[in-house]
Structure 1
């Protein structure tokens, strides 16, 4: 069979996503280009690889077998590429890092310093939400992922590398900004802006208030921290976000951080990769760099917000 690597990669992505459209988007191709590659693949094989039922496509028996073989081929090619990069050591090579949207506030500074130390390394950075990160881990599309608590039911290796304090933010002129501490009862009449369902931050917040037997009112769901910060700033409600996402706003006085009892909620940031993944020399160097240096790229909390200053 005279198959090309391009056809193999396009077929594998269409089969994985069960969608010509999504495959085209992820491969930065037009949908007609993807369709042409699949047609050429099928012409070479001499058998149909997909069947369409309604608006959905499904693999045929031949398609399922070819999908299994193509995934193996692509994995071996990736391992070969990684082996070549290992031979280059940290003087060159490619590092694929994906981070949660909350992490990118300090990840840019972190990666900038790593790049200064290893100027010949090419860094591919992807910023996405939790769902996107888990998909990239499943598809082995990232060397290392920086995120919140990873799920336990996935075949992943994870290591906590830094604390992630969740704090309550308010408009700069909020009535509670100078109260120390703000009780949970003080919040009963407040409205909160929340992250989308499935967000790690939202999960932690909901578990906290459920454990305390407190019900808070929410008015809007937003899928980015930027949207929450802007909504809080214009008075739409309070927000609960990672301290690492509001450093500039707190310094400039555009937002206030409330001294709420039992806050900050202390979570962790994790380095995550697939179990059994063979990290390149560059990947290992980055992992050690994050382990030892990440704390230098975030700023601390006010004294009244530090965990050791909270009342018993």
Structure 2
């Protein structure tokens, strides 16, 4: 059994497709199939079974997949330890960010990677619920989000302002109004993210603090979808100002002057409190907290 064979096996197991695994690894499908056959010969039993046009892991395949995760994690840990012994800022940095953070985080990554070009960044973009799941399962070095979880034992530090603003299409009747009350806002249709998102939680708390319930809501799954909904006139919305800078510059979305807004929040970088962070992760954390 070779690491090369395990690498190919893991790719096929993840995709449950020889074709997609071969494309990911820039190999031909027959080359991947041959290596998997050789691995199955070493194991003495099949690792995949085909039903119709689909393939599935056998019991042996599932056992090997779990073991391969342990093996590759141990190798990664070894490489990280060797880099730290050398005092080298290189190796893998695993980050998970909520979708809205993609409007500003690439420029920070660019500056960091320019300073530390030997760092291999693995970025995962998910909604808040999935980011919290990855944080809980210790799948990431650090996560970036706008709402710190209260139920987890995490260390979170603010590093950037995150004002939430009220948005409307240019032709909306409230655009030219000033000091719009939250009660007046409650008569509008509001476009919001899914339950559990940081923006949704902030809006629920804001309305509750004024003894108001959220008005009619259209739920959309991304900030991009919400922006397009506002532009199309489906309703008004509340988003991070970082997500709408371009649209505001173009004038295709307008800010509403609403009492108690912008809601002043922060972007946070977080990790499990008991997690022992690598030198790369510690270096990025320091860079992020001092980035201007």
**TM-score bin, normalised by smaller chain:** 0.7 to 0.9
- The one-character-per-residue Cα deviations of 1:38-92 (angstroms, maximum 9, x if unpaired) are 65444322245578999995763x5565455433322211112222443564665
Count of paired positions: 288
1:1-312, aligned counterparts within 5 Å? 3-9=1-7, 20=16, 28=24, 40-47=38-45, 60=59, 66-86=64-84, 89=87, 92-119=90-117, 121-134=119-132, 136-137=134-135, 142-152=140-150, 156-210=154-208, 212-219=211-218, 221-274=219-272, 276-293=274-291, 296=292
Q: Which is worse superposed, 72-81 or 126-135?
A: 126-135
TM-score, normalised relative to structure 1: 0.72
User: Residues of 1 paired with 2:8 and 2:102: CA distance?
Assistant: 30
Whether the 8 Å CA contact 1:89–1:282 is kept in 2: the answer is no
Whether the 8 Å CA contact 2:97–2:125 is kept in 1: the answer is yes
User: Cα offset for 1:207?
Assistant: 4.2
User: Cα offset for 1:158?
Assistant: 3.2
User: Residues of 1 paired with 2:65 and 2:2: CA distance?
Assistant: 15
User: Residues of 2 paired with 1:42 and 1:87: CA distance?
Assistant: 38
Q: Are residues 4 and 137 of structure 1, via their aligned partners in 2, closer, same or farther at CA, if it must alter by over 3 Å?
A: farther
Whether the 8 Å CA contact 1:103–1:146 is kept in 2: the answer is yes
Aligned-residue Cα RMSD (Å) equals 3.9
User: Cα offset for 1:170?
Assistant: 0.8
User: Cα offset for 1:105?
Assistant: 1.3
User: Cα offset for 1:193?
Assistant: 1.7
User: Cα offset for 1:237?
Assistant: 1.1
Q: Are residues 78 and 153 of structure 1, via their aligned partners in 2, closer, same or farther at CA, if it must alter by over 3 Å?
A: farther
User: Cα offset for 1:238?
Assistant: 0.5
Whether the 8 Å CA contact 1:20–1:35 is kept in 2: the answer is no
* Counterpart secondary structure, 2:95: strand
* Counterpart secondary structure, 2:157: strand
Whether the 8 Å CA contact 1:85–1:94 is kept in 2: the answer is no
User: Residues of 2 paired with 1:229 and 1:36: CA distance?
Assistant: 49
User: Residues of 1 paired with 2:18 and 2:236: CA distance?
Assistant: 36
Whether the 8 Å CA contact 2:191–2:226 is kept in 1: the answer is yes
* Stretches of structure 2 lacking an aligned partner (at least 5 in a row): none
User: Cα offset for 1:102?
Assistant: 0.6
* Stretches of structure 1 lacking an aligned partner (at least 5 in a row): 297-312
